[in-house]
Amino acid sequence: MNQKPIKQITLTAARDCISQLKKIDLTKVSIDRIKTLIEPLWKGYLLSNPILRPGAILYRGIKWPIRPTNISQLSYPPSELITKDQRANRAGVSRFYASYSYYAAYSEIDAQPGEYIAISKWQTTDSIIVNSVGFTDEVFTQYQSQRKTQDINWQKHANITESPTNKLIHTFFAKEFSKNVPENSEHLYKISVAISEGFYSENSNLTGASLIENPPKILRIGGLLYPTFAMLANSDNIVLLPEVADSSLKFVSVEYIKIDNYLADNKGYEIKRLDFANSLSADGSIEWKNRPPQWNIQPGYTRTIEEDGQWTVRNDKGEIIDPE
């Protein structure tokens, strides 16, 4: 379906809008008011949408002093437990946060020695259209990332997204979303929340959707992709709408872990794997095995350590073998 392009806000008007946003007192202004101030920037704003395909692996970490018993304790929390604004959602609104890297899941929850955590593994079962934010040279430099933005596949925008106005807005969104927010200063998330909600509200402007190969069952923006700031932007996080997590993810496994200490270089953890599960009962109860994960290594199998620190076992055909 052909759609008439939306005329973008002028560069001067965009600069004025951003200047006004930078002056507001975030302790006094509501998120809804900020959304109203940001609204002109969305007019004609263009970016390419990454698509998560079936089979993508995600990791989610949660602190649990007592071993969780049900899948609901591993997924997104009930809305009433969200009492503070977060990077991509306001208080009272639940989201499914996850990481592409196993060890990023530790960093994202700020795991500390002596704590007990559950690291769950999930797999996409359907394609998910997402937006992305935070993938700029400025953000990667700020966090001293080892990656380069030009190496990120979903950053290869069409030329139309590279207009001066689009670059200005793209950079502003990235900088505001990527703020390092100290504990008890959650009011600083207000602009990033407003930006996140704007990304989700643009579903009616999905152009070129009819050209998507193997499109998702639900043609909408289902999530937001951004660098893992707790890991110096060296991996990526994703935040999904609860209904998308419910319809397009499946549980793979979960480990229950005690954090013993930091590694000597302070870039990882000494851990003790206490329990493992890779199945659920009909009511969602976790079927713990009362032992750590283990592999049934056969002749011809190989075992390697991947970049994210996870052991990967492959059979003689090169296929990945999950632990049992």
Query: How does DSSP classify residue 44?
Result: T
3-class SS of residue 137: helix
Place of tokens 């632990």: 323
- The answer to whether the predicted template modeling score (pTM) of the entire model surpasses 0.85 is yes
**pLDDT per residue of the chain (324 residues) written in tens, 0 to 9:** 334 456 789 999 999 999 999 999 999 999 999 999 999 999 888 888 888 999 999 999 999 999 999 999 999 999 999 999 999 999 999 999 999 988 899 989 999 999 999 999 999 999 999 999 999 999 999 999 999 888 877 655 545 567 899 999 999 999 999 999 998 999 999 999 999 999 987 554 566 666 677 777 777 889 999 999 998 999 999 999 999 999 999 999 999 999 998 876 666 788 899 999 999 999 999 999 999 988 777 787 787 766 555 677 787 777 777 887
Give the pLDDT confidence score for residue 112 in this predicted structure.
92
Q: Which residues contact 123 (CB under 8 A, 6 or more apart)?
A: 54, 55, 56, 57, 58, 249, 250, 252
**Alpha-carbon distances of 151 from 147, 172, 189, 233, 234, rounded to whole Å:** 7, 21, 28, 13, 12
- 115: how many CB neighbours lie within 10 A of its CB? 14
Residue type, 16: D
Give the pLDDT confidence score for residue 264 in this predicted structure.
66
Rounded Cα distance, 261 and 218, in Å: 44
Give the pLDDT confidence score for residue 1 in this predicted structure.
34
Rounded Cα distance, 101 and 29, in Å: 35
Give the pLDDT confidence score for residue 251 in this predicted structure.
98
- Alpha-helical (H) ranges within the chain are 11-23, 31-42, 102-108, 137-142, 164-177, 190-201, 242-248
* pLDDT mean across residues, the chain: 88
Residue type, 2: N
Give the pLDDT confidence score for residue 2 in this predicted structure.
37
